[in-house]
């Protein structure tokens, strides 16, 4: 029997409602089934993020690994595909997976050494940029969810959401972001993107200084990858430096990268408005700080 963290149960209730409750209820049996199927032995306390339960395990031959149990959805369905294509180059290595449930067996990294604990934020930003420079070289496979499909729907929803923003200045920012996305929407890109590479999703390992975990992959432009490193460990005065440093390392056109970064801002604004919440000040501040950064 495994203990289900209350925080994981609460987040599944909040984000996935009935499906989340069913997932939590099924977790003990699901874990037992895969421990038996893959001949695994639990070797430590469970860990969790917002959506997954991670169990440290040993394989039958003594190899350390982690069993990742998660609710299979649009975002997680592509994870094993991306990890198999990256094959450990810049990302955690996939050892096995079960397609119907989305259950993964992954190499074990050092969960005690997380990039979020790196005191030098500039060095942490550069670590993320260097990882993205490796991950984004891979072409996205057929069948991967695509930024080219997301962008038109996002622009349509943004038009409605903008009218529900009471503050004129904030409404103007939403409109400007939508205009920038329209300029690049016909060239959405075809690289394999991680989409969620923030500082908590980078762990140390014996075989590499840092490796990415927990991709929510899609096919698109690498400029769509920069947002997590800007909004996490937020510092308004550092936004410009981070944007310039990442675009330099990745070799991106800054005007195009800014437009797709505005696309991530727009995505967050739409979700926020549709949830009935006010727009986040730091999100809007990033838009202000990126104005003019195209050289």
Let me know: does 247 contact 257? Beta carbons within 8 Å: yes
- What is the largest distance, in Å, between two alpha-carbon atoms of the chain? 62
Let me know: does 159 contact 192? Beta carbons within 8 Å: no
Please confirm, yes or no, whether 196 is among the known catalytic residues: yes
Instruction: Give the residue from 252, 248, 280 showing the smallest Cα distance to 264.
Output: 280
What gap in Å lies between CA 35 and CA 21, rounded to an integer?
22
Let me know: does 103 contact 34? Beta carbons within 8 Å: yes
Backbone angles phi, psi at 203, to 5 degrees: -120, 155
Which of 58, 176, 196, 238 is flagged as catalytic? 196
Backbone angles phi, psi at 6, to 5 degrees: -60, -35
What gap in Å lies between CA 168 and CA 279, rounded to an integer?
12
CA dihedral (122, 195, 167, 274) in degrees, to 10, reads -150
Q: Provide the 10 A C-beta neighbour count for residue 50.
A: 12
Query: Helix, strand or coil for residue 43?
Result: coil
What gap in Å lies between CA 12 and CA 18, rounded to an integer?
9
Write the burial class of residue 116 (CB in 10 Å: 0-12 exposed, 13-18 middle, 19+ buried). Answer: middle
Quickly list DSSP for 80-92: HHHHHHHTTSSBP
Q: Which residue reads 């959405």 in tokens?
A: 188
**What residues are labeled active site?**
196
């Amino acid at each position: 029997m495994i203990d289900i963290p209350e925080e994981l149960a609460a987040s599944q209730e909040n984000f996935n409602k009935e499906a989340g409750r069913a997932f939590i209820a099924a977790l003990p049996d699901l874990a037992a089934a895969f421990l038996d199927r893959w001949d695994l032995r639990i070797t430590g306390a469970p860990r969790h993020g917002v959506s997954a339960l991670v169990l440290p395990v040993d394989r039958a031959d003594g190899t350390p690994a982690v069993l990742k149990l998660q609710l299979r959805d649009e975002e997680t369905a592509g994870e094993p595909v991306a990890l198999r294509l990256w094959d450990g180059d810049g990302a955690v290595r996939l050892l096995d997976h079960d397609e119907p449930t989305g259950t993964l067996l992954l190499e074990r990294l050092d969960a005690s050494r997380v990039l979020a604990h790196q005191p030098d934020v500039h060095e942490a930003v550069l670590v993320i940029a260097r990882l993205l420079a490796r991950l984004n070289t891979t072409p996205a496979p057929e069948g991967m969810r695509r930024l080219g499909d997301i962008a038109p729907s996002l622009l349509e929803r943004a038009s409605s959401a903008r009218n529900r923003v009471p503050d004129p200045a904030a409404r103007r920012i939403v409109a400007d972001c939508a205009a920038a996305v329209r300029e690049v929407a016909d060239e959405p890109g075809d690289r394999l993107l991680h989409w969620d590479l923030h500082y908590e999703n980078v762990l140390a390992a014996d075989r590499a200084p840092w490796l990415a975990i927990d991709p929510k992959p899609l096919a698109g432009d690498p400029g769509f990858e920069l947002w997590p490193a800007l909004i996490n460990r937020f510092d308004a005065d550092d936004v410009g430096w981070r944007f310039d440093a990442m675009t330099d390392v990745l070799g991106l056109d800054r005007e195009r990268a800014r437009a797709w970064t505005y696309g991530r801002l727009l995505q967050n604004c739409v979700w926020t408005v549709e949830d009935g919440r006010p727009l986040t000040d730091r999100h809007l501040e990033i838009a202000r700080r990126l104005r003019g950064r195209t050289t």
